[in-house]
Amino acid sequence: MTDVVDTAHDEYVRAATEGMARDDNAAYVALDTLGVTLLAEFAQAVLDRRETEQRWLMDLRQYRGLYDPDVEAKFGKNRSRAFVRLTRVKVKTANARVADLLFPTTSDRNWTAEPTAVPSVDRDTRRKLISQMVAKTGAVPTRRELDAAVAKLVKMAADKMTSIMDDQLAEAQYKSTARDVLHSGHLYGTGVLKAPLVERKTRQKFVRVNGNWVMKTESYIVPFVAYVPLWRFYPDMSATKLSDCGYVFEQHIMTRGALAALAKRKAFNGAKIRAYILANPKGAQTSRAYDNEIRQIGERQSAKLNHDGNYEVVERWGWIGGELLSQAGVVVPQDRMHETFFSNVWMLPDGDVIKITLQPINGVTYPYHLYYADKDETSIFGDGFASIMRDDQTTVNAATRMVLDNAALSAGPQIEVNMNLLSPAEDADDMYPFKIWKRAGQDASQPAIRVLNVPNGLEELLPIVEMFKKNADDVTAIPRYMQGENATQGAAGTASGMSMLMANASIVMKDLITNYDEGVTRPFISDLYKWNMQFNPDNSCKGDFDIKARGTASLMAKEVRAQQLDNFAATLTPEDAPYIKREELLRQRAEAHDLSSIIKTEDEVEAERNNDAAQAAAAQQQQMQELQMKVAMLGAEKITQEVAKLAAEVTRINAIATKTNVDAAYAGMQAAGVATERPEIAPAGDAILKSAGWVDSTPGQPTPAGSAPPSAAQPAIPDPQQLAAQRDPRGGQIGANVGEHAGIETAAIE
């Protein structure tokens, strides 16, 4: 079946190329009968879809915070009309979350173009490759070498094809278009992407002609991507899958200028289009039942209803029987009259066919790709979050209105006034503090004014609101902490608990991303690849590739892995450090968060380490030099201090020696004086000196004359007191400073 579909798609591309390449208008046959038949088919499709439109209108009102007309009609005049817009929050959360995973801010793609398991090339390319290898090596390559060269060549082509398709998606503003598809899917249940089709564009560039720069206009073909509003999409309502539809209609609303531009395209019948514009100069558009409803929801009640200047054009994709084509004037071989042929037909509201492209191949795919938030097995359309949580939204609104009404009634007392018991001069509406009420009448037992207090039921009503808010979280599987709410209770109160909850919530996002991958990414990117294989003039990007959608397999896995790595790193203890490769853990965490560019490579780290070591060695050497200088300075200062200290010590020793010499000289002079007066004691002094180690330097000299040996009458050593009495008439003791007043000027040292 896949081969048939691929072949049919290729045939569609071929036919579309031929239609775009024609230089003159196609010779249209009489297709009036066919146009009328298809127009009746479109009218039936509009009627079949009307019930679904009512659900979409309810979804839109719910998203906008508006009550349905039949519900609002039941509200009292003075009742609350508050609307809690939970639906909008859920839809916006799903939009942001899914778009963030499908289209990350990094260079990651949600698709890949990879060579097949056994890549192959055509015969001419293989021969050329063999010739190049022989010229390079001088030998015929082996089969293994040739297979490796083919794989390398196909890989280079796949990379180039990926780059080209990336540029095409950027030029077509695919991300912006995909966001509209996601929003439609989350709100109404179904989003429609139309792509890729052939579009011819023109561009102007300057070229040099005869030395002058001249502006030249050239045309080129590109793939285009379009978002189809669900209100303009009319599939075969008898089918539950797009591939089972017999037809799909798309309604185009064009201005006069847009329709006139369509007449210039070579694949359209410009004559019929121009005649239709002239016949309807103010436009021709049929108002649908939902148009007025949408206008009221969008607060555009005063907008024009006559659609002046707008034209309606109907485009049909689907199957047409051979007999119907034959009746319309198309030549169909008799042996193929029983077949159905896939076609693309454009019609005006009056049934005139302005374009038809036939493809006589079964199994062609539609150029529409559907995204479902929640697929309905009974319909071709899905359910959005608005319809999924409608009961919870209705209950929350009702409970909120009850809370507000009760709060308003219980905020103050209700006053009952018996006018028959009040004086006619009293104004019951005029109430103020300390007012005196004047009564009238005879029944004094009944009060003229009675106060009624309405019970406050907020404690019973508020839990109802919270209960159904929580139920809305459950039925949509989009909890409030996914919206950015700072939950602090339960498992969400801790970092690990929040990580666990986010991982569980990601399972629901994974289901939505799978729906987008299977419904949009894979078929659309595959068609874009085939478009380039057919139309791209650069043959170096072409090859046998597999297109894979990796949104679920890669992006969700990365999201969960990032949470797991963060949780693992947060639970590590200091005791775990010897067993953990910190560098590898850091790299994996950075890659999971798309921050791998900030992590240094091993070469950078090694270079910085070497640089740091050199800087550290230089710094250490400088520190050593500074330390040596400090030591030298401290040594010199210490030596100076020691020298000064030694000099002071020498000075002190010299002073002591001088004092000793002076004392000795003074003592010697005293002894000499005594010896002169008493010659008989000189020998005794010599004996004392010799016993102390004195050596006589003149041993041969005789004792001075007049000396006589001591006798009993005159002892050898006189009494010191006698000597003192003889020497000092004051009777003082003989000391070291007794010669101070006899010409000895050296101060005595106590």
Q: Is the dihedral of CA 666, 670, 671, 673 positive or negative?
A: positive
CA distances (Å), origin 220, targets 142, 156, 217, 534, 536 = 43, 25, 10, 14, 11
CA-to-CA distance for 133 and 149, rounded, in angstroms? 9
**583-606 residue pLDDT tens:** 888 888 887 776 777 787 777 777
Phi and psi, residue 103, nearest 5°: -130, 75
3-state secondary structure of 538: coil
CB 492 within 8 A of CB 443: no
CA-to-CA distance for 205 and 515, rounded, in angstroms? 43
- What the block records as the tokens of 671 is 């002894």
DSSP class of 575 = G
CA distances (Å), origin 251, targets 267, 311, 349 = 19, 10, 10
Which residue shows structure tokens 């839109």?
60
The predicted structure's pLDDT at residue 724: 47
Q: How confident is the model at residue 553 (pLDDT cuts 50, 70, 90)?
A: low
Nearest to 153 by CA among 548, 547, 539, 543: 543
Q: Is the pLDDT of residue 747 over 50?
A: no
579 or 740, higher pLDDT: 579
Q: Give the mean pLDDT of 505-534.
A: 85
Nearest to 5 by CA among 226, 243, 358, 238: 243
Ranked by mean pLDDT, the top range of 42-51, 160-169, 341-350 is 42-51
For helices 32-48 and 50-64, the axis angle rounded to 10 degrees is 50
CA-to-CA distance for 392 and 86, rounded, in angstroms? 9
Q: How confident is the model at residue 183 (pLDDT cuts 50, 70, 90)?
A: very high
CB 107 within 8 A of CB 546: no
CA-to-CA distance for 208 and 101, rounded, in angstroms? 47
Strand partners, 200: 221
For helices 50-64 and 390-410, the axis angle rounded to 10 degrees is 40
**Cβ contacts of 46 within 8 Å, gap of 6 or more:** 234, 288
DSSP class of 746 = S
**109-147 residue pLDDT tens:** 778 888 888 888 888 888 888 888 888 888 888 888 888
Q: How confident is the model at residue 505 (pLDDT cuts 50, 70, 90)?
A: low
- Cα first-last separation, the chain: 132
Q: What is the mean pLDDT of the chain?
A: 79
439: region left, alpha or beta (phi > 0 left; psi from -120 to 50 alpha): beta
The predicted structure's pLDDT at residue 730: 47
CA-to-CA distance for 394 and 92, rounded, in angstroms? 19
**Adjacency order of strands within the sheet including 233-235:** 233-235, 247-255, 310-321, 340-347, 353-359
CA distances (Å), origin 319, targets 9, 49, 381, 588 = 14, 20, 21, 53
Strand partners, 223: 198
DSSP class per residue in 126-156: HHHHHHHHHHHHSSPPPHHHHHHHHHHHHHH
Q: Give the mean pLDDT of 740-750.
A: 45
DSSP class of 520 = I
CA-to-CA distance for 530 and 311, rounded, in angstroms? 34
**Cβ contacts of 86 within 8 Å, gap of 6 or more:** 389, 392, 393, 396, 469, 472
3-state secondary structure of 22: coil
What is the percent of the chain with per-residue pLDDT over 90, rounded to a whole number? 30
Q: Domain residues of the chain, as ranges?
A: 1-74+246-365, 563-599, 607-693+714-742
Q: How confident is the model at residue 649 (pLDDT cuts 50, 70, 90)?
A: confident
The predicted structure's pLDDT at residue 551: 61
The predicted structure's pLDDT at residue 735: 47
Q: Is the pLDDT of residue 428 over 50?
A: yes
Q: Is the dihedral of CA 385, 387, 389, 393 positive or negative?
A: positive
Nearest to 165 by CA among 97, 114, 118, 119: 114
- What the block records as the tokens of 542 is 């072409």
Q: Is the pLDDT of residue 394 over 90?
A: yes
CA-to-CA distance for 10 and 27, rounded, in angstroms? 24
The predicted structure's pLDDT at residue 697: 58
Q: Is the pLDDT of residue 44 over 90?
A: yes
288 or 246, higher pLDDT: 246
Q: What is the pTM of this model?
A: 0.69
The predicted structure's pLDDT at residue 619: 76
DSSP class of 701 = S
CA-to-CA distance for 27 and 229, rounded, in angstroms? 33
CB 267 within 8 A of CB 18: no
CA-to-CA distance for 750 and 748, rounded, in angstroms? 6
Phi and psi, residue 325, nearest 5°: -65, -40
Q: How confident is the model at residue 538 (pLDDT cuts 50, 70, 90)?
A: confident
Phi and psi, residue 594, nearest 5°: 60, 40
**451-498 residue pLDDT tens:** 889 999 999 999 999 999 999 999 998 888 777 655 544 444 444 444
CB 342 within 8 A of CB 319: yes
